[in-house]
Amino acid sequence: MKKHTMIKGSVAALVAAGAFATVAYAADSLTVVSWGGAYQEAQRKTIFEPFKDKATIKEEEYNGEVAKIRAMVESGTVSWDVISVDTPTALQGCDEGVLETLDYTKIIDKANVLPGAALECAIGSDVYATVFAYDAAKLADGPTKITDLFDLEKFPGKRALQKNPFVNLEWALIADGVAPGEVYDVLGTPEGVDRAFAKLDTIKSQVVWWEAGAQPPQLLADGEVVMTSAWNGRIANAIKEGKSFKIVWDAMSPDLDLWAIPKGTPNLDKAYEFLAFATSAEVQSALAPEIPYGPTNIDAVALVDPELAKTLPTHPDNLAAAIPLNPQFWGDNGEELRARFNTWLAQ
């Protein structure tokens, strides 16, 4: 496996995709693709609807499939104009040449963006985290650390994990005694990969695998699992709706959501206009009250209520418990590890 340089971020799953039909575009419309659920609802309220004076937003949802973007670009039938991506997807899409290299003079001054959030082919929209959570109404003395996720004796019952090796392998190694700062050194060896999967083996029979962000809170609410991994905003939204869920920040996995433009969109100028609008301080600061993700525009940070800031992944107390994630590692090794993961799932 290749050596890597540590930066923050996460990874999106790669799946097969078919060809896409050519679509007709209106000059005043823009197709924006995001992750659905509470997150896209928050984007709709704070970004899409306020942008309607500039263009009609046509929304679509996906699960982060680079293959879908690749199929569009290679077939010359690009039907998406702006895409929400995570860091590894942005890096891979840029390396493969399926995302536009951004001209930041049309978007934002890079000096106003958090370090690591102004990539060559994507601009940060917010910071979220993969955490794990439980229902306090059903577990009065709930889990407090990542090792509890793997402790079937202390916490019997099903637990839900994303159907993706990313984060799961890191958590498995940390639960097996690897220091967070050494995770990628260990995972970068065949023995380390074997060790991670061996740890996952200890709970495999009790895992429910989720693929869409709306599933974890529903699994908790239905009592199908005793705990679940999830994106922090989905759990926070459920709490706001009255659920007695609790977030465990230990070993939380921070990542960037970013905006990217698929290469070949016929609406390139309008896509740039959207990126400039969506990354402005006023717009980014409006997102946090709707879903607790931190802004990447430095000027937006001061506009977020201090009490609300405590619930964001970017708060110092929460960051202190974070894994020092390395999306470049996943860019280098993701396909190999996903193949191993899929084989392991089928066993």
Q: What is the mean pLDDT of the chain?
A: 90
Record the tokens describing residue 223, joined without a space.
């009592």
Phi/psi for 294 (5° steps) reads: -80, 145
Q: Rounded distance, CA 107 to CA 9, Å? A: 21
Average pLDDT over residues 197-209: 98
Averaged pLDDT, 75-81: 96
Work out the pLDDT band at 88, boundaries 50, 70, 90. confident
Higher pLDDT, 24 or 78: 78
Task: Report the C-alpha gap between 308 and 330 in whole angstroms.
Answer: 32
Per-residue pLDDT band at 10 (split at 50, 70, 90): very low
Single-letter amino acid, residue 339: A
CATH class of 29-127+255-319: alpha beta
Task: Please give the pLDDT value at position 337.
Answer: 95
Q: For residue 39, give the nearest of 298, 266, 246, 212 by alpha carbon.
A: 212
What is the pLDDT at residue 9? 36
Q: What does the pLDDT read at residue 328?
A: 80
Measuring CA to CA, which residue among 145, 194, 162, 181 is closest to residue 86?
162
Q: What is the CATH number of domain 130-254+330-346?
A: 3.40.190.10
Rounded Cα–Cα distance for residues 215 and 230 (Å): 9
Average pLDDT of 223-240?
Answer: 94
Average pLDDT over residues 304-308: 92
Per-residue pLDDT band for 27 (boundaries 50, 70, 90) equals: low
Q: What is the mean pLDDT of residues 231-255?
A: 93
Secondary element (H or E) of residue 134: strand 123-135
Question: Which single residue is written with the structure tokens 């740039």?
Answer: 272
What are the start and end residues of each CATH 3.40.190.10 domain in the chain?
Answer: 29-127+255-319, 130-254+330-346
Q: Which of 18-27, 153-162, 178-187, 279-288 has the lowest mean pLDDT?
A: 18-27
